[in-house]
Amino acid sequence: MRNYSKELLDPTQVAICIIDEQPQMFFGVESASRLSVMNAVTGLAKTASIFQIPVILSTVEAQTFSGPLYNQVQLVFPKQQPIDRTTLNAWEDKNFKTAVSATGKKKLLFAGLWTEVCVTLPTLCALSDGFEVYIVTDASAGASKEAHQMSIVRMTQAGAKPVTWQAALLEMQRDWANKTTYQAVMQVITEHGGAYGLGVEYANAMVPQSQ
């Protein structure tokens, strides 16, 4: 049985918003390796799937400018149509805001491109509306390192909390005795956890597993 502290991320109390992770937006990313961001947002999407967390997928001008949602994220939610917008600020789109409200969750995890616009603007608005917001920093990226970093500073000064995708995953799991999600969590770590994932693969190969 899970026993979560209120200060920590409880998968039953959060929703995840993945915003504008699209080809045209990736083309302009200069704050981090594009591959690392793509890996991180896919890991975040799979985290949501494992813990049955409500997810809002959103794109901007998908048909005319930015292209479709990153395919590896869409594959995690094959039946979910992203909310396409014209607004730079997702919070100013009626359909997006309605979808967030419909989850009934007051803790939101935001990831998107670019950090300085498509993450910052809805984060500041959501905070003003009384939500608790977490920025998934490695699943987000900006047009420059400075743009990304200054946006994180701006949002944290306003009350948002930075977190990385794998930290969120492990915070949700919390206890390796939680066997209902154990195998799926370990699989995501193996696929997207970098050196840690490689270590898990090595341990599985070298040590007989009883789980």
Q: Which two tokens stand for residue 103?
A: 């989850």
CA 12 to chain centre: 16
Per the residue annotation, which of 16, 111, 118, 126 is the catalytic one?
A: 118
Contacts 24+ apart (CB under 8 A), 6-12: 8/171, 8/174, 9/107, 9/109, 9/134, 9/163, 9/168, 9/171, 9/172, 10/107, 10/172, 11/51, 11/52, 11/53, 11/172
- Whether the CB-CB separation of 39 and 73 falls below 8 Å is answered with no
- Is 118 a catalytic site residue? yes
Active site residues: 118
